[in-house]
Amino acid sequence: MKPYFKDECNHGKKCYVGSKKYQAWSIGELEDYKIDVYIFTDSQGQQVCIRYGDEPHEYVSPGSVCSFLLLVDSGLQAYSEAYTVLRENGTFKWERY
């Protein structure tokens, strides 16, 4: 698997989890979308980054993996699709701080 977009956040290959193409409704039309999903570690723990384009600002970082899991059912299809990428390519682990 190879990312669709440039890694403008500079997370690197080790942080790349996977990519997905999907379709979603946008203003009454079915549109094609692509995302790349990264998991990176910072001082707050494991964080999620979802890229949806090549431009530096074309990403969303919903926070920690735990925070992201709470947002999966928020109605944003990109989050649901990113969750699918994570679920198919890894496992979730809970740890006490």
Q: Is 2 left (phi over 0), alpha (psi -120 to 50) or beta?
A: beta
What tokens does 66 get? 């735990």
pLDDT tens column, 61-89 = 998 988 898 888 888 889 999 999 999 99
What sign for the dihedral angle of Cα 81, 61, 11, 97?
negative
pLDDT tens column, 24-60 = 888 899 999 999 999 999 998 899 999 999 999 999 9
Residue 87, classified by CB atoms within 10 Å of its CB into exposed (0-12), middle (13-18) or buried (19+), is: exposed
